[in-house]
Amino acid sequence: MTKIAIGIDIGTTGARGVGVDEAGRVIAAASSPYPLVSPKPQWTEQDPDQWWRATRIVLAKIAMRVSDQHGSVAGIGLTGQMHGSVFLDSAGEVIRPALLWNDQRTGAESEWISERVGRERLIKITGNPALTGFQAPKLIWLRNAEPANYRRVAHILLPKDYVRYRLTGELATDASDAAGTLLLDLRTRDWSAEICDYLEIDVGWLPRVFESPEQTGIASRQVTEDVGLGPGVTVAAGAGDNAAAAVGTGIIREGIASSSIGTSGVLFAHTDSPVIDAAGRVHAFCHAVPGANALLGVTLSAGGSLRWWRDVTGHDYDKLVAQAAQIPAGAEGLLFLPYLTGERTPHSDPEASGMFFGLTARHPMGHLTRALMEGVLFSLRQALDVIDELGVRPDMIRVTGGGSASDLWRRLQADIYGIAVQRLAVDEGAAYGAALLGHLAGRTFSDVGEANTLVRPLEQTDEPQPESVRTYEDLYSVYSELYPKTAHDMHRLSALARR
């Protein structure tokens, strides 16, 4: 009987699931959307119960396909959006809507954490500065803004781990996702008692930390019966979406990095041991590979910038990208800063704002679209330069997400990064990596290296084009100076908008 593992990705706009057999083939896929709520400017929230409802729909659809294939489920792997905060009371009930990764309300709380712990000490322990998107500032915000809700807190979970709780009844997480809370010691791969003491957070509220391929429980009989799975299905610890995607794209050794263009844009580079940027310009996280680590650069509005532009213009993606493809490299001197929802790396600034710069009457819509796409990648290039500065120098980048399917996105990445980019035969992102972790928990494979023999790149490689590389190097030097020169005025405009 064929062994099939299921990977579930709790994304920002919906749950995505894939069933992957022991040969690496995707035999089933399903999605179920849910809404994103923004009750105030810069706030983003979701109802955790909607994640669970969507997960059940996805599991039921995949279970039906598994049954059709006469397969058995080896395990379930979980992944999802990082940093979100689910607050549970002592009865396991959700206290309030979850605060998400791109929620920017916690600027004051982030500053307080930096002062309380000390910025240098914080980065040394956790690998990261205090940022608005992370979980710890959200908990401090709850204490300050909603004290009645804070008094009810008994457990704090990340998004995928709430789904695990509903699936198995277990309170657990993994090191890669926990590294994005600002409460994990990067070197011990466990909660930092020191940080929790500084912040007056009860470490007992935090779930047990596992390595990503480890078993964390068994899906409950009620759930498996309801969705049509057999009994005794093992659930892996899983990983944060970026680490799971890295497993699914073979980023499990130094020398290869991944570039993902989704709502956000992420550069992910494997490191064998912790590598920390003392300035906090890029993230240092635990990897889903046991004992390994990673460096990440994040642009908050990557594909999100193109979606905004689609909504503003009223044109579909295909038309916009087709027009942009006809425009020469550099969009004839037009630049775009993609800070539509603030920025993460290398500029940690929730009040950063977007900008077209160099706009003239000779720039119709195609030029603006081209400049927007190039600006997203200039932002990620800044993170790549920091990663290189830290001694981690990939010579190949594997492209994933929506950007991998577009010839223009791939060509732009090769030319702006100055590194060859490669597609994969199967590009199911984080859900695929989660399925491989499900196989590992179910003992289909012995370790991540063996599971990654299933990850196969296509022969097609996009190489940097020398003439375009030269053009982009010149533009990049101008782009890199724009934020430092305009950040003060961005903040002034942000203050005026709040009046």
Nearest to 435 by CA among 25, 14, 15: 25
| Helix/strand/coil for 487 | helix
Regarding beta strands 26-33 and 14-21, do their DSSP bridges make them parallel or antiparallel, or are they unpaired?
A: antiparallel
Catalytic position from the list 9, 241, 415, 462: 241
Separation of alpha carbons 119 and 161, rounded Å: 28
Separation of alpha carbons 446 and 150, rounded Å: 43
Separation of alpha carbons 438 and 436, rounded Å: 5
Nearest to 286 by CA among 206, 203, 384, 184: 184
Separation of alpha carbons 26 and 457, rounded Å: 15
Q: What residues contact 467, with CB distance under 8 A and at least 6 apart?
A: 329
Asked if residues 493 and 353 have their Cβ atoms less than 8 Å apart, the reply is: yes
Nearest to 221 by CA among 213, 209, 229: 229
DSSP 234-290: EEE--EEHHHHHHHHHT--STTEEEEEESSSEEEEEEESS----TT-SSEEEE-SST
Q: Residue 462 pairs with which residues in a beta bridge?
A: 421
Separation of alpha carbons 292 and 388, rounded Å: 18
Count of C-beta atoms within a 10 Å radius of residue 241: 31
Q: Is the dihedral of CA 403, 408, 413, 419 positive or negative?
A: positive
> For this structure, is 241 an active site residue?
yes
SS3 content of the chain, % helix, strand, coil (to 5): 40, 25, 35
User: Which residues are designated catalytic?
Assistant: 241
